Chains A and B, each alone.
Chain A
């Protein structure tokens, strides 16, 4: 089989594919430079030898220690997980999915309906509660979300819950008052349980472009985000911005959302994710190769 040569055209195409995956121009430029050096160093000539190098370089940026994609679960006390993020990214759905998966592990789960603002938000979480068989602590629409959290902690304690999943209303990171409200929610949790929340998960929609960086920065500053859930990866968007986020802010992706159903949540796999970013380039070639081989065989 013939492979294309690794030349300027190749790098240009790679650049476009990565930009097209929302990796972001500056990160892409940096990467391409590193790759070019590597290609020189290892004397790589054709594209079949470069795919693993691209993977390696990209994965390096994402998976710094390998271990920290695991959730920080507590052995001897209730684990509290707080979900934050902008509007419509998939916070409530992710909580429903996660409740389901903890439940299947035999854990006792409680969910807190901390979105008291959006129309139908409480009902949405309640339906998830019924669906997966998990209790929901709620107050009326319009009540103080920090008060809901306080309640939820008492109630989850009384129920001897293993895990408390806290929903919050979506908010855009440039809304100062809403970010303050979120800080207060977190503060109330920490006051009740000193080392809680044990995880603050920022939910990011994979279709989001460069604004996700600002989201990570601002939510990070307000709530000390410990990990990212990257949702909606079942579509055609690639979510490449998490690479830049990991690079600049060192926040790891812990989970990915792959659909609307309760089983559509998976641990983040850096290698698989990275391959997804540029597989177009590699697989298109294998396609050509396959065709070429087919042509050859017909000649024979």
Chain B
């Protein structure tokens, strides 16, 4: 099919050159073309691909590959190492404030999975870190967004702070933090409305919330199926808000998820969680090396 893994691609290329014995520079070039295609088909942004392929090529031409008896595998090794390094190497944990409550803001495009992820992170914090989170319903725009969070709160038996859809999101965020202090809740997770990164008014609203409650984490929630536009979105959210991390959702699907690399490379913030389903317990800490293999189709 269209989405062959990189390993198979390189094997095919290598089979062609095997008869000739030694690996030449133009062979390396051809292998790099396959790397480029594989990454583009995995939805890695073309600018990110360009930089990446150049870095890999440098190492490849720098003898590692050319001297090797198994250049195909050697290329894969180099690609995998570079990719894993770029993805962040190690797993990264959610912040915890010196003085509770820790304030976490969820931001992102429409339909990315913010509200679901808010509930998932709350569940994760309670189950794994023994914390007591308060969720805040600061999406006053999307029809039934508040109902959605309340329903999730009921499923989890966890408190949800809401002031309805008439108060401004900034006031809701402030109210939630005050409430958490009063009730000795140690995390406040703020669910915000989906918005376009180019929507000045709504991006301004997020900046206002940030200013008002001084969050310890601002997590960009990104749909793993996102294509080339992921860099624009991530870059823009990062510039306007200063992200501290990323959550990649819908990884239970069959997308290669190249957006992960794009987002990581433009924001330079860690991907902290992976969404693995629609249910509140389907959230996992993000594993950079697994993601690297997935993007490569291995």
Contacts and interface: CB of A to CB of B under 8 A. Distances in A.
Contacts of A214: 254-255
A123 B150 CA distance: 12
Contact of B197 (A117, A173, A212, A236): A236
Contacts of A90: 110-111
B298 interface: no
Contact of B254 (A88, A141, A173, A207): A173
Contact of A127 (B37, B144, B152): B144
A149 B196 CA distance: 34
Interface in A251-268: 260
Nearest to A120: B148
Contacts of A118: 148, 278
A158 interface: no
Contact of A89 (B111, B145, B232, B233): B111
Residue of B46, B229, B253, B256 contacting most chain A CB atoms (<10 Å): B229
A21 B250 CA distance: 22
Contacts of A141: 151
A213 interface: yes
Contacts of A128: 143
A232 interface: yes
A134 interface: no
A87 B111 contact: yes
A25 B253 contact: no
A86 interface: yes
Interface in A164-223: 172-175, 205, 207-214
Given A20-B46, A172-B253, A209-B43, A120 B228 contact: no
A119 B152 contact: yes
B225 interface: yes
B226 interface: yes
Given A214-B254, A235-B198, A209 B278 contact: no
Contact of A209 (B142, B150, B226, B250): B226
Contacts of A205: 111, 223, 225
Nearest to A89: B111
Interface of B: 2-3, 37, 40-43, 45-46, 109-113, 115-116, 141-145, 147-152, 155, 196-198, 223, 225-230, 232-233, 250, 252-256, 258-259, 278
State the 10 A-B residue pairs at the shortest beta-carbon distance, nearest first: A209-B227, A120-B148, A88-B111, A209-B43, A127-B143, A237-B229, A119-B151, A123-B144, A124-B144, A211-B255
Given A20-B46, A22-B229, A235-B109, 16 more contacts: A24-B41, A86-B225, A87-B250, A96-B143, A118-B148, A118-B278, A119-B149, A120-B149, A123-B148, A172-B253, A174-B252, A174-B253, A212-B227, A232-B109, A235-B196, A238-B229
